[in-house]
Structure 1
């Protein structure tokens, strides 16, 4: 492969020169095959063959040779070369030009690790690659160079970040093949300020002090994490870490930090009170609840009791009732014991009385009573009627509601003889 440092179209004649043996077949870039020697030379000899210009390329040119019966080779060192000839000299009086740059001239907020790319072009004989030199802020750098003599591209990627908040000057030197040169052609751009990027995991907000759109390098900043209701700040992570809500930073680098908030778990504690008994049901029934959960509380009185109302996180007598969880909360259901009356009546033609044990004005649910009917002389107990019926004078019962009982006595009649 032979690399040309010029555009073949700018020349009048091209020659392929090399030392060959046994007259091999030769082709350039896959074009028509020709013999190394027009006269059939079969010993080591120097060959100079004129080749068609449009077979050639500005960059790499591939020379292919072939032979038969073990004959037909070229000398490796030196190998074949291509010579371009121009009968009329090009009138090249214009030096190379800085034709394109990236970042753009006078650009702002440029990334610190951005690649610096510039193009040096020449409309005449072309740029001599060996004369190209690049400087960044006065320091020589080694860019990658690509392209052809009519326009070479120089690319330099900083090995360390460019300083924040600085103006960078890029300069280039170079000459063309007519010895026309540019010296110190330059342009500038400005590197951005350091970044402060904040992220939230969970639910909360981050505030900055001072709160600026951008921060000059070296600015001290305090970031503060504030949890939303039902959440607790857990920690900072990223380019800086910590477990307290306030975190101090110095903007001498890019900072990307995350505030993580953990969701709180709350307990709902229920209790009962009062001289009655009952229970409280919670739906949904869970060990803990999250902020904003809505639960339903239902109070159920035991037999002989009545629900009186709620106290604590819920107040009132509505049943069931809903509660929105806002923290650890306690609710008490009050139940009152029912009081039942015993209504006794004595009737019949006879007389008598009833003894009640225990003797009270009212009775609570499940109270055991003993009623004993005693007939007066000349009378006989006839039986019980009402909410209970019995014929024996003594009646044992349990209070479950209001009771109405009647004791009947009959008058005794005697026969005279």
Structure 2
């Protein structure tokens, strides 16, 4: 064949093949883009399962498709698949190491979960792996550093006392999260640091300044604490509570100071008023005299050095005021949110606990545990919301032969406290896994107590070798001991109580074999009555039988006996007359608060003049509020005869 013809044929084949290749590539690209758009649309329509499958198809064809990987992570988050989202983005580190968005998105996920350390480590990895510019990552790290600070209640501490310090990170919600850090002190001869898990205690031994530092990753924060001989710790204001004052009315306030040892401390505080609704007169003995000038609510501030305390003060008028306080950590909100309220106005008061706390009850002019409270304003009110740290119960049980080890024998833990658990099988047994609040085959667990939790450790006897695998039996030897029977499953019974009283158990203990019936008896304290069981079993009788077929938590509720209604107070209405006439009334004895209706009736030739005594009036009929014994005197005068003119 002609060489020239051969060359032309080869060239033709190459042109056709190249065209086919580029056409295939273009079709593939179009297919990927189309699939990606369908995944985005499915996500917008909240068809998460379909969206995830489409995003996964894009990533299989093009592992470096950043938008698809970010989209898939968002889908997993929407579906509650936190770990899948983290895995998807982590794989993106190595597919597209120069793509900042991957690192930033994964860091945001960790930060949103309040895991500052993992978020920081992701940003650090982005700095290490990304070959190009990392301006956005550097910006995120600067923002992270700005949100780190050493938290101390005050910058001064009294000698021979301690102060708690914590390195905290402000999360996206504005909440301060304590972090584990490496702590150091400038001069260990003057003070000492006692380190905890996330907090340290500074023990102040010598007067002067001490520099304390906390290192987290590549960052270091420093705080200077002054150790002084005496430091104001608390004040006592007399009177402790100030009733609303009328305009022109005055009240005299005295203040005493106490140091950290509760010793008297001489202070000359600064007094100030926020809105000038009161005049303040400070006497040489540091007594303050407040005089009400204008109706409204004001704030009185008492300040000495770095100590400051505020209290609300009120000037009375036609409207009424609500004073709120908290015991523990939380806030009280009044709806509508106004400075004062008109009598007869409907309001709501709501208690909102801080993280790790729960609302327990109201005190003051509002009682009980109902939240929110709805009421009608009739007078001034003082309301206190009581919050207590949340406690969660951990119930552990097992099946088979093995042990559960933990760092403490406590069964009740603070909110978000971490507990380490280790399952260890007996010889001849193997650990299968955990059941209950967490299903896992890892024998070593660290659980976070964000709720009451129940965990069941399952152990299984190791399989014996088969006949084919077993060694030949020596019939001259005595037969082996019979196999040890499998241990029954055990379950934990937690008993809680609400109110004053106790619970008797028969049999006693907290761990019981499966199927055991435990008899419970609720015994109220003096002045209290039993109000029912709740939890795993609900019942109204004081005696309760619980069958242990799983971990159980039962709460016995007690309530105060109602106060006996006092006998109604009664008052006497004493009636008398001056002159000639009578007084008509339906009765002489009245309950407190009742109204007595009386009518003066003059005799013929006489006329009624007036009432004397507890009530004065010239009207023959009168209404008397019976809030005490009353004496009423009806005065009659004789009518004068008219004389004829001469």
Q: TM-score, normalised by structure 1?
A: 0.36
Name which one, 1 or 2, has greater alpha-carbon Rg: 1
Q: Normalization by structure 2: what TM-score?
A: 0.25
Task: Return the structure number with greater strand share.
Answer: 1
Question: With CA pairs under 8 Å and 6+ residues apart, which has the higher RCO, 1 or 2?
Answer: 1
